[in-house]
């Protein structure tokens, strides 16, 4: 197994391209990529009768007193711009004629003093050139420019009711246009939610996105390997977490994609348990659900392994059931099937395993179909088998088909298409209880990999870290022997 990450494999240097204050570059992947996405949005808006789209980036958020949380751009805004500075807004004008700008950025003005403290700002001119906009203005000109840009346009398109602050800003801009109606100006007569269009675009990843996700997956897999190799009974959960965080940054990832779960022993039965102070004891399983964000894209990996490097027989039984459930879900993942197919496949294997082990009473359930019909497995498997993955760890996109043909009824589950990316993450969580065989008490196991849907199946991009129990044991034992 390749447990090293070479320059060519992960291109760590590339991760920092857009964040290097000394040598500002353009967007990751090149300006043409983002321009093409903006053109797709403009074409879709023209087909809907025109109007102006407004896409703000995320606000900066105060952590305490004058210290901010690390800044993270808005995913929609980034998807259409590649621009990562705070205080920015994209305007797409689907009614612009040939001589007018259709793709307009508002961003922070150049400011020598602020740049001395905070680092380089592109400024409107620099950003227009590097990121390929038709025009750019300082963010301080928003209230002067937006009413002019939305006047005489039929509609607005933005994330309706997603942010009170932005809703209020839009209202102010519409009011400013209405104030001029006696001069013959018309205000937009309708507002539409822009997000369904962007969600559908984001759901199917392009080659650049898939490449970035493969790299995020590879770095995250290395972090899990390092955690397995360094874990010893007696370590605390946060010490294991430190090995993960070290690896993310070491290979150029900007941040964890979500709060790391490092759960020792019974803590693994708490689904969103954050890494805490608990000691990993001999005989405990360690469940780690952690992955990095690289250039705006998330990975999402879970592995469960024995602190000592050897599964007990009861742990191994449950582990192999979850692994078989995951394999069944993997086998059910391909273009043309619906989103629910991998979940159904995993549930069937888990339900059978719960009967075989006697965790579910074989006297009470005649067959696996009964277990499924009564949802008796849900006491031990209470989450779904996967979710979309992309810029957001629980990425955007409907899980059901939308459209007029389904009005008034529950639409069918979404059909998978090549280029969609999702997790496959079955688990079993067995709390201590009188009616459960004691040998399985407090075992919590999840196995999670990231998949790119292909025409004939799926590509698992997180298998840089072993998943088979024998392979995990030998990786850990090699490390313990110093091999
Ligand atoms: N890490 C969050 C999840 O697995 O859904
Ligand atoms: Mn997940
Ligand atoms: Mn996860």
425 is an active site residue? yes
10-59 residue pLDDT tens: 443 444 444 444 446 899 999 999 999 999 999 999 999 999 999 999 99
Based on the residue annotation, tell me whether 93 is a catalytic residue of this protein: no
Instruction: Please name the fold of domain 204-482.
Output: Creatine Amidinohydrolase (3.90.230)
Contact 222/251 with Cβ under 8 angstroms? Answer: yes
Distances (CA, A) of 138 to 102, 282, 307, 375: 17, 59, 54, 56
By mean pLDDT, which of 68-77, 218-227, 406-415 is the weakest?
406-415
pLDDT score at 421: 98
Known catalytic residue at 446: yes
Residues, CB-to-ion distance under 5 Å, ligand 2: 300, 423
Longest dimension (CA), the chain: 83
H or E segment to which residue 459 belongs: strand 458-460
Taking the centre of ligand 2 as the mean of its atom positions, its distance from the CA of residue 51, in whole angstroms, is 37
pLDDT in tens, 188-219: 999 999 999 999 999 999 999 999 999 999 99
**Active site includes 387?**
yes
Residue 429 among the catalytic residues: yes
Encoded tokens for 290: 């952690």
Residue 422 pLDDT level (bands cut at 50, 70, 90): very high
pLDDT averaged over every residue in the chain: 94
- Confidence at residue 18, expressed as pLDDT on a 0 to 100 scale: 44
The answer to whether residue 394 is catalytic is yes
Distance 270 CA to ligand 2 centre (A): 15
CA of 429 to the centre of ligand 3 (A): 15
Please name the residue that has the structure tokens 């001119």: 125
Q: What is the pLDDT of residues 88-102, one digit of tens each?
A: 999 999 999 999 999
Beta-strand pair 255-256/190-193: unpaired
* 483 confidence band (pLDDT: 50, 70, 90): confident
Q: Which ligand is nearest to the CA of 304?
A: 3
pLDDT range class, residue 406, cuts 50, 70, 90 = confident
Within a 10 A sphere around the Cβ of 431, how many other Cβ atoms? 15
Strands across the sheet with 302-306, in order? 261-264, 285-289, 302-306
Pocket test for ligand 1, best of 299, 448, 449, 450 (most atoms within 8 A of CB): 448
Which fold is adopted by the domain 7-201? Creatine Amidinohydrolase; Chain A, domain 1 (3.40.350)
Residue 475 CA, chain-centre distance (Å), reads 28
Which residue(s) pair with 9 in the sheet? none
Q: Please give the number of the atom of ligand 1 that sits closest to the Cα of 387.
A: 5
Closest-lying ligand to the alpha carbon of 301? 3
pLDDT value of position 408: 80
For ligand 1, atom 4: residue with the closest CA: 300
With 0-12 / 13-18 / 19 or more C-beta atoms within 10 angstroms meaning exposed / middle / buried, residue 256 is buried
Which residue of 291, 421, 423, 445 sits with most ligand 1 atoms within 8 Å of its CB, as the best mutation to test the pocket? 423
- Close Cβ partners of 136 (under 8 Å, ≥ 6 residues apart): 104, 105, 106, 107, 124, 125, 127, 128
Cβ–ligand 1 distance for 449 under 6 Å, the answer: no
Domain boundaries, the chain: 7-201, 204-482
């Amino acid at each position: 197994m390749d447990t090293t990450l070479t320059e060519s494999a992960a291109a760590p240097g590339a991760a920092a391209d857009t964040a290097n204050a000394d040598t500002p570059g353009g967007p990751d992947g090149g300006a043409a990529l983002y321009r093409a996405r903006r053109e797709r949005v403009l074409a879709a808006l023209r087909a809907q009768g025109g109007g102006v789209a407004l896409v703000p980036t995320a606000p900066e958020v105060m952590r305490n007193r004058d210290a901010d949380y690390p800044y993270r751009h808005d995913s929609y805004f980034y998807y259409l711009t590649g621009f990562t500075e705070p205080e920015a807004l994209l305007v797409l004008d689907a009614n612009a004629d040939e001589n007018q700008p259709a793709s307009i950025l508002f961003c922070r003005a150049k400011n020598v003093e602020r740049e001395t403290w905070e680092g380089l700002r592109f400024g409107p001119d620099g950003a227009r050139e590097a990121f390929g906009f038709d025009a750019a203005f300082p963010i301080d000109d928003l209230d002067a420019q937006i009413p002019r840009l939305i006047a005489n346009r039929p509609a607005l398109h933005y994330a309706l009711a997603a942010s009170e602050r932005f809703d209020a800003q839009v209202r102010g801009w519409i009011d400013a246009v209405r104030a001029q109606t006696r001069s013959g100006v018309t205000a937009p007569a309708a507002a539409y939610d822009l997000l369904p269009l962007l969600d559908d675009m984001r759901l199917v990843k392009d080659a650049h996105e898939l490449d970035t996700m493969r790299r995020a997956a590879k770095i995250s897999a290395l972090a899990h390997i390092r955690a397995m190799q360094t874990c010893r009974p007696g370590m605390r959960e946060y010490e294991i977490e430190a090995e993960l965080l070290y690896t993310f940054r070491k290979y150029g990832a900007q941040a964890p994609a979500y709060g790391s779960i490092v759960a020792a022993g019974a803590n693994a039965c708490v689904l969103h348990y954050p890494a805490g102070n608990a000691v990993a004891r001999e005989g405990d399983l360690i469940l780690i659900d952690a992955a990095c964000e690289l250039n705006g894209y998330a990975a999402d990996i879970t592995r469960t392994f024995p602190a000592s490097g050897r599964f007990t027989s009861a742990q191994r039984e449950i582990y192999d059931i979850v692994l078989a459930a995951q394999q069944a879900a993997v086998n059910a993942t391909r273009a043309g099937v619906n989103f629910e197919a991998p979940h159904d496949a995993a549930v069937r294997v888990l339900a059978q395993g719960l009967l075989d082990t006697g965790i579910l009473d074989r006297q009470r359930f005649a067959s696996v179909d009964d277990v499924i019909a009564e949802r008796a497995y849900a006491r031990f498997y209470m989450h779904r088998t996967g979710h979309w993955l992309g810029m957001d760890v629980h990425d955007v996109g409907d899980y059901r088909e939308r459209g007029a043909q389904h009005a008034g009824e529950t639409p069918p589950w979404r059909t998978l298409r090549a280029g969609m990316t999702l997790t496959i993450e079955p688990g079993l969580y067995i709390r201590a209880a009188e009616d459960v065989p004691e040998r399985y008490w407090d075992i919590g196991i999840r196995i999670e990999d990231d998949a790119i849907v292909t025409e004939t199946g799926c590509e698992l991009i997180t298998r840089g870290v072993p998943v088979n129990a024998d392979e995990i044991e030998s990786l850990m034992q090699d490390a313990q022997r110093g091999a």
